[in-house]
Chains A and B, each alone.
Chain A
Amino acid sequence: MRKLFRHLNYYWRVVATGFGFALFGIGGLFIALVIFPVILFNVKSKDQRKCRTQKFISKSFRFFIGILRGLGVLSITTINIENLKSDNGVMVIANHPTLLDVVLLMSYLPRVDCVVKEALWHNPFLKKVVHSAGYISNSTPESLMDDCVDTLKKGNNLLIFPEGTRTEPGKPEVFRRGAANIALRAQVSMRLVYISCQPSALTKSHRWYQIPERKMHFTIRVGDCLATKPYITKNDELSISARRLTQYLQKCYRQGEVIHESVA
């Protein structure tokens, strides 16, 4: 009986996962074609558009995650999540175990910029949305860094995955130095977020229908707001500071420890 239930649950989740993917695509299209033009029409100033679009994206993602929870595809535990909402002009960094990480984090971040791959800037449906949200394109490394530094200096938050791509399952995190370089140049703090998903799912090596035996359980731990200033020293070049900071961050994530200060 129990076995039968497990089987039924498994197939239910395959169907629900497929539905989730379809909903994400269709919902995205609906927002781009129907909802978004309304924002564009009603809000004229660029800054306000950015704010409204980001808020709307965050709410949509929250709704989407809510549906996945309701369907029994996943469950979530959060730790110190309220700290994310008060951040301003902060670089939010996280490890990147699954395909859902961006959606999950942005559902808790009403105001955040992120880097969007260049292809989407040419996508006929989404180009206006990413443009209006003021997201950053990864077209060339030089402009990418300048744009990231600029937006942080303006007081916006920026979400970055320092690994640059999803974490290889079972392997230690390898951080690239771009995130540290940007934070040091913009002189902003970094908010450390650690995501884990048990059992492992939606990784780079999974296809959408290859779902785990049990439902996915996400834990999102919001950790320190790390000041990066102490890494800038008189004697060292920025290239050295970025290496030190990256080494420190990588160590924290490899140990799975992002909460060091007692976060009140």
Chain B
Amino acid sequence: MDTKQAIFEHVKTVLVDKFEVPVDDISLEATLYEDLDLDSIDAVDLIITLQDYTKKKIQPESFKQVRTIQNLIDAIQQLLVES
């Protein structure tokens, strides 16, 4: 199972490559919508992209509470633990 650090690195790569987020803006405390300027369409895209990584279907509901990168990593790890 991947560590939180590995998940963070992966999320970072996706955000930079797919959403042109400046790499320096990405920290655990950064909020997806405000700090990183993602919108709801990006959020759906992000979930689909992360499904390739988790190899599991992600329920959009489980991401409703996600606000920050930290929340996102926790949610992904939760998914991986459940397998």
Interface positions of A (Cβ within 8 A of B): 141-142, 145, 176-178, 181, 237-240, 242-243
Contacts of A238 in B (CB 8 A): 45
Q: List 23 A-B contacts (CB under 8 A).
A: A141-B40, A141-B41, A141-B44, A142-B40, A142-B44, A145-B41, A176-B39, A177-B41, A177-B42, A178-B39, A178-B41, A181-B41, A237-B17, A237-B18, A237-B45, A238-B45, A239-B18, A239-B19, A239-B41, A239-B42, A239-B45, A240-B18, A242-B41
Name the A residues within 8 Å of B45 (CB-CB).
237-239
Q: Which of B1-25 contact A (CB under 8 A)?
A: 17-20
Instruction: Collect the chain B residues with CB atoms within 8 Å of residue A242's CB.
Output: 41
Cα-based distance from A86 to B6 in the complex (angstroms): 54
B contact set with A: CB distance below 8 Å: 17-20, 39-42, 44-45
Find the residue from B17, B18, B39, B45 having the highest chain A CB count within 10 A. Answer: B39
Question: Which chain B residue has the least Cβ–Cβ distance from A145?
Answer: B41
Most chain B CB within 10 A, of A142, A239, A242, is at: A239
Interface centre among B19, B40, B44, B45 (most CB of A within 10 A): B40
By DSSP majority rule, is chain A's interface helix, strand, loop, or mixed?
helix
CA distance A145 to B41 in the complex (A): 9
With A142-B40, A177-B42, A239-B45 already in contact, 4 other A-B pairs whose C-beta atoms are closer than 8 Å: A141-B40, A177-B41, A178-B39, A243-B20
A240 touches B20 (CB 8 A): yes
Closest residue on chain B to residue A142 by CB atoms: B44
Q: How far is the CB of B61 from chain A (nearest CB, A)?
A: 13
Q: Across the interface, which residues of B come within 8 angstroms of A177, CB to CB? A: 39, 41-42
Cα A202 to Cα B44 in complex, Å, equals 35
The 10 A-B residue pairs with the shortest CB-CB distance, nearest first, are: A141-B40, A181-B41, A237-B18, A239-B18, A239-B45, A239-B19, A177-B39, A243-B20, A239-B42, A240-B20
Q: Which residues of B contact A239 (CB under 8 A)?
A: 18-19, 41-42, 45
- Inter-chain contacts of A145 with B (CB < 8 A): 41
A254 to B35, CA, bound (A): 23
Complex Cα gap A117–B42 (Å) = 22
How far, in angstroms, from A145 to B39 measured CA to CA in the complex? 13
